[in-house]
Amino acid sequence: MLARKWRPRNFEQLVGQTHVARALVNALDADRLHHAFLFTGTRGVGKTTLARILAKCINCESGVSSKPCGECGACVEIDAGRFVDLLEVDAASRSKVDETRELMDNVQFTPARGRYKVYLIDEVHMFSEKSFNALLKTLEEPPPHVKFLLATTDPQKLPITVLSRCLKFNLKRLPAGDIGAYLERILAEEGIEFETSAVELVARAAEGSMRDALSLLDQAIAHGAGTVMEEEARSMLGAVDRSRVIELLDAVAAHDAAGALEVVAAVASDAADYADVLGELVNVLHRIAVRQAVPGAADPDPDPAEACTRLAGRFSPEDVQLHYEIALRGRRDLALVPDPRLGLEMTVLRMLAFTPHADGAAPPTETGAGRAGGAAVPATTSIRAAAPAAESADGRLDPALTTPQGWRDLVEGLGLSGLAGELAAHSVLVESGARRLKIGLDPGHAALDTPGARKVLREALAARFGGPIELDVVLDVPSHETPAAERARDEASRRQAAIRAIEEDPRVRTLCETFDTRVDPALVQPVD
């Protein structure tokens, strides 16, 4: 069995978990060891392996160090699992308080052979409340010759009183790349023929667990009659060919329902696991989203990078996010459907239902106008009349400027920005004379009237009317609507119309009901 044969015997052989190994090595070399350690993490990431290495380091006959000799009686016996002073306890099978008390009663006795008596308690979260109380009493006042090494996959179930008395080390899931490299080294050492693509499949299927990876590798070797080849490994794992997922997304992008269902039929003929198909679909959509957000981002998994880049150009970022959510929900709901294939088909059909057609009919985006094929947002913008004439025959400025529409047309025609544009937009024309304008500014916006803003506005008016213009600004409550107030009213009206158009669209209602969500009015932006 590879998992037992290739279990690391020291810190140097350990794969991953360098953050934990470094801390333990430093503590051992400095002779600053705590009396209780807690190793947490998912299955097969090295919790008990680290604990056994640590037990060997503190009991090696050559002395306490981070590099046990591996040859003395203590090291050999610990590796073989028969060291008398290493007591391995499975908390799941010894959760009764009487058993725990009996175990703790023996703590006071000195080690029979080693330097320390080591209690390695696996799945410690399975202890009952009374068992934890019995353990806590010993953790509070431990004898100097005892070390506790606790391991658990569910640290949340441990009492805070126990957690506070342990040094906690959180072991991470191992990256598929690290697992794959280690498996290839093992296969090379064992003289077993393999294909790298097959090893990658096994490494991904292990989901971060080295022990699972080694068990799957044993199975793959047996399945492949002494070799590890991609075709046999894929068949053993029920893994989906990624090219199928790419074909599926190509069909969705083309809104080809028949083609998409043909791909699903091909997946069924491959005898692939439908949950894995949806999982791979989620994985590819994630990679597409990353390419869209950060085009130059490095991809740790180069296969199939070219296809993901191509698909990133076929889907909008919004569609990718929607399809990602649909695929996640489809995978989660797969156990509820009578036939898993139906679950995959319905997930794909749901994607197609919300994918834009070539003719532009699609779920509404932003205002939902026109492109959604639904209720169009009423147009509120109008074509402005030409600006009034510069001046009359007697040299006076055109009186039409004093009307709200005339002044707004003039302000918009000036094309000013910054303080000068705001000064003009929050004013009304009070009086116009021969080469002279008086504007009234709302006192609430008096801060807009600065010398610099007046100068820029005066120069713009001079350029508009072809000569110097005298400009007076008075603080007064406007007698009618300013251009800024009229613009805000128009935008509010258009925004409300856009929100109504989206909320009343039947496809948006279906989307909200399906995903138990709602339209956020704050995110709606009308478009022309």
- CA dist., res. 405 & res. 290, Å (int): 49
Q: Do domains 176-237 and 399-487 have the same CATH topology?
A: no
Residue 80: CB partners within 8 Å, gap ≥ 6?
Answer: none
> Which pLDDT belongs to residue 131?
87
For CA atoms 245, 246, 248, 249, the dihedral sign is positive
SS3 376: coil
Q: Structure tokens of 133? A: 């109380």
Cβ neighbours, 10 Å, residue 279: 17
CA 313 to chain centre: 21
> Which pLDDT belongs to residue 484?
82
Q: Is 469 left (phi over 0), alpha (psi -120 to 50) or beta?
A: beta
- CA dist., res. 54 & res. 60, Å (int): 10
- CA dist., res. 309 & res. 278, Å (int): 20
- CA dist., res. 457 & res. 470, Å (int): 11
Task: Classify strands 436-441 and 86-90 as parallel, antiparallel or unpaired.
Answer: unpaired
SS3 119: strand
Q: Where are the domains of the chain?
A: 2-170, 176-237, 242-353, 399-487, 488-523
Q: Structure tokens of 210? A: 């080295």
Residue 213: CB partners within 8 Å, gap ≥ 6?
Answer: 44, 179, 182, 183, 202, 203, 205, 206
- CA dist., res. 1 & res. 455, Å (int): 87
Cβ neighbours, 10 Å, residue 217: 28
Average pLDDT per consecutive 10 residues, the chain (528 residues; last block may be shorter) = 86 89 92 91 91 93 91 92 90 78 85 91 89 88 91 92 92 91 93 91 89 92 89 80 88 92 89 86 91 78 74 89 93 90 93 66 39 36 38 50 74 81 84 79 82 85 82 80 81 82 81 77 69
> Which pLDDT belongs to residue 221?
92
The answer to whether 264 and 345 are in contact (CB under 8 A) is yes
CA 392 to chain centre: 66
- Of 1.10.8.60, 3.10.450.50, 3.40.50.720, 1.20.58.2050, which CATH number belongs to 176-237? 1.10.8.60
The answer to whether 17 and 171 are in contact (CB under 8 A) is yes
Name the burial class of residue 476, with classes exposed (0-12), middle (13-18) and buried (19+) by CB atoms within 10 angstroms of its CB. middle
> Which pLDDT belongs to residue 268?
87
The answer to whether 340 and 275 are in contact (CB under 8 A) is yes
The answer to whether 6 and 201 are in contact (CB under 8 A) is no
> Which pLDDT belongs to residue 356?
57
Max intra-chain CA distance, the chain = 119
Could you give phi then psi for residue 119, rounded to 5 degrees? Answer: -105, 110
- CA dist., res. 388 & res. 484, Å (int): 20
Closest alpha carbon to 46 in 77, 7, 6, 74: 7
Closest alpha carbon to 48 in 123, 136, 135, 158: 123
> Which pLDDT belongs to residue 304?
67
Give the residue carrying structure tokens 């292990």.
206
User: Thinking of the domain 2-170, which architecture would CATH place it in?
Assistant: 3-Layer(aba) Sandwich (3.40)
β-bridge partners, 86: 118
- CA dist., res. 367 & res. 479, Å (int): 34
Query: Which H helix or E strand runs over 431?
Result: strand 427-433
CATH code, residues 399-487 = 3.30.300.150
Residue 376: CB partners within 8 Å, gap ≥ 6?
Answer: 369, 370, 501
Task: Classify strands 146-152 and 470-475 as parallel, antiparallel or unpaired.
Answer: unpaired
**Which fold would CATH assign to domain 242-353?**
Zinc Finger, Delta Prime; domain 3 (1.20.272)
Amino acid at 321: Q
Distances in whole angstroms, Cα of residue 204 to Cα of each of 155, 343, 379, 411: 26, 23, 53, 63
3-state SS, 454-471, equals: HHHHHHHHHHHHCCCCEE
